[in-house]
Amino acid sequence: MSSFRSAACLLVVLAAIAAAEPRRVQADAPLAPETQEAIAAYLRDPNSNGRRLLDAARQDTGELNPFHEILIGDAASRAGLYRTAAIWFGDARDRTIQPQLIGTAELGLAWSAFGRGIFDEARNHLAAAVAADAGLQPTTDFATALLAAAEGTADARSLSAKVAGTATDPTVREAIPLLNAYVLFWSGDMMGATAAFTSFAIANPDSRFTDDALYAAAVAKEQIGRDSEARQELEALAGDGYARGRVPTRLMELDPRAVLREGMRRDRERPFRFAPRRVTDLLDGDGVRLAQAALEDRDEEAQDPGRPAKHHHRALGAQAAANATPSEVAAAPTETATGAAQVRRPTPETTAPAPARDHRFPWSTLAVVVLFAVVGSYLLARHAQQRTPGQRR
């Protein structure tokens, strides 16, 4: 399918979902044959068949099945309409009596909160999902540990260890070592993160996460001063290609929220997957593209020595906070829900350079002088003409 057709389908689905609202009808209604066909088509290709789900909902004059609503909510989240998706998920949760559907709807609500960056709300819905359906435990445990790692909470390592000790799903178990490495990286333990990412790449050369682990290992090595080694690894990972499009700086630095936003963005382009795979895919980025963008960025820095160097945002913030005086700490902004605030650093006072002398000929000044001379000559001539008749008399 061409990129133009994909974009057109996405625009149609986005407009249709935004205009639709869930109907309050009886719970667990049977699925009509046309609805079953629309659902089957959506499961095969969700990026092209979201509109069919909405058409089937409009044509069905009777009851709307909660499972149908959950899939419409999923289509809305794929279009980036997380608030609209939450309406559909919430309606399905409130109208069904089946624990599996309640758990799935709560998981959808957590996903919508995740997409909006509201981690506390997402955590609450994850707890509600596993309370309704214990079968979601591996997924919710991994997602909860991922949220804790991204926020840098004190229980991040214990939650990650809990997932490692209880998970049996092979999809989750594959991603656990990578999650542990990110826990170390986002907590500032670059030595441990370097070893963990490198170990993962060596032990899992064919994993979908291998390129991400190699890139993260190179970034961690830069943070501990192993620049030459990091450069070689980035070049080996990047190959001869060039980064496609603009890559945000925070994503290149592996800022936790930037990594998760990128995972949510990539999720919209992927096929339908079950919950464990979908949650772990949040850590499946494009390490090759990041390596290419990082090399291009470093080459630009080398060509422009006056350009400020970039460092890991947390390490830089910790260093600035350690060097700040008490008055500067009091004046610094606090951390908000949208991420770590930048620390204000005093800038040295320098005198402004004197403006350069302009050695061009002062044509404008000459023009003014000439104008005054002409006007003065005219006035003198008029005055002389007025005095001449009086003198003759």
DSSP string for residues in 7-57: HHHHHHHHHHHHH-------SSPPPPHHHHHHHHHHHH-TTT-HHHHHHHH
Task: Say which residue, 220 or 10, is predicted with more confidence.
Answer: 220
> For a pLDDT cut of 70, what percent of the chain falls above it?
68
Residue 90's pLDDT is 96
Residue 386's pLDDT is 58
Dihedral sign for Cα 128, 129, 132, 134, please: negative
Q: How confident is the model at residue 385 (pLDDT cuts 50, 70, 90)?
A: low
Residue 30's pLDDT is 72
Burial grade of 255 (CB within 10 A; 0-12, 13-18, 19 or more): buried
What is the C-alpha to C-alpha distance for residues 65 and 67, in angstroms, rounded to an integer?
A: 5
Q: To which H or E segment does residue 3 belong?
A: helix 3-19
What is the C-alpha to C-alpha distance for residues 142 and 166, in angstroms, rounded to an integer?
A: 10
Q: How confident is the model at residue 346 (pLDDT cuts 50, 70, 90)?
A: very low
CA atoms within 13 A on the CB side of 375: 6
Is the model's pLDDT at 99 over the cut of 60? yes
Is the model's pLDDT at 230 over the cut of 90? yes
Mean of pLDDT values over 212-222? 97
Is the model's pLDDT at 33 over the cut of 90? no
Residue 6's pLDDT is 47
Residue 243's pLDDT is 76
Q: How confident is the model at residue 307 (pLDDT cuts 50, 70, 90)?
A: low
- Is the entire prediction scored with pTM above 0.85? no
Cα-flanking dihedrals φ and ψ of residue 339, to 5°? 135, 175
Instruction: Provide the Cα torsion 4, 5, 8, 12; round to 10°.
Output: -170
User: Which residues are CB-contacts of 235 (< 8 A; sequence separation ≥ 6)?
Assistant: 291, 295
Ordered domains of the chain (ranges, CATH)? 1-97 (no CATH), 135-304 (1.25.40)
Mean of pLDDT values over 227-243? 91
Of 85-94, 145-154, 295-304, which range is least confident?
295-304
Burial grade of 20 (CB within 10 A; 0-12, 13-18, 19 or more): middle
Task: Say which residue, 362 or 150, is predicted with more confidence.
Answer: 150
* Strand ranges in 211-309 using DSSP code E only, listed in sequence order: none
Task: Say which residue, 365 or 17, is predicted with more confidence.
Answer: 365
The tokens for 49 are 């068949």
What is the C-alpha to C-alpha distance for residues 176 and 179, in angstroms, rounded to an integer?
A: 5
Question: CA dist 357 to 350, 351, 353, Å?
Answer: 21, 18, 12
Average pLDDT of the chain to the nearest whole number: 79
Residue 84's pLDDT is 94
The tokens for 281 are 């895919």
Q: How confident is the model at residue 32 (pLDDT cuts 50, 70, 90)?
A: confident
Residue 199's pLDDT is 97
Cβ atoms within 10 Å, residue 352? 5
**Nearest CA among 4, 2, 6, 1 for reference residue 47:** 6
86, 49 in Cβ contact below 8 A? no
Task: Say which residue, 329 or 133, is predicted with more confidence.
Answer: 133
Is the model's pLDDT at 393 over the cut of 70? no
Is the model's pLDDT at 293 over the cut of 80? yes
Residue 179's pLDDT is 96
Residue 209's pLDDT is 97
Cα-flanking dihedrals φ and ψ of residue 273, to 5°? -135, 160
Is the model's pLDDT at 77 over the cut of 90? yes
Residue 146's pLDDT is 96
Cβ atoms within 10 Å, residue 336? 8
Per DSSP, what are the bridge partners of residue 336? 339
Residue 63's pLDDT is 72
Residue 149's pLDDT is 95
Mean of pLDDT values over 90-116? 95
Phi/psi-derived region of residue 357, left when phi > 0, alpha when psi is between -120 and 50, beta in every other case: beta
Q: What is the DSSP letter of 224?
A: T
Of 66-80, 168-182, 241-255, 355-369, which range is least confident?
355-369
Q: How confident is the model at residue 344 (pLDDT cuts 50, 70, 90)?
A: very low
The tokens for 150 are 């991204």
Q: How confident is the model at residue 369 (pLDDT cuts 50, 70, 90)?
A: low
Q: What is the DSSP letter of 253?
A: T
Q: How confident is the model at residue 366 (pLDDT cuts 50, 70, 90)?
A: low
Q: What is the DSSP letter of 354?
A: P
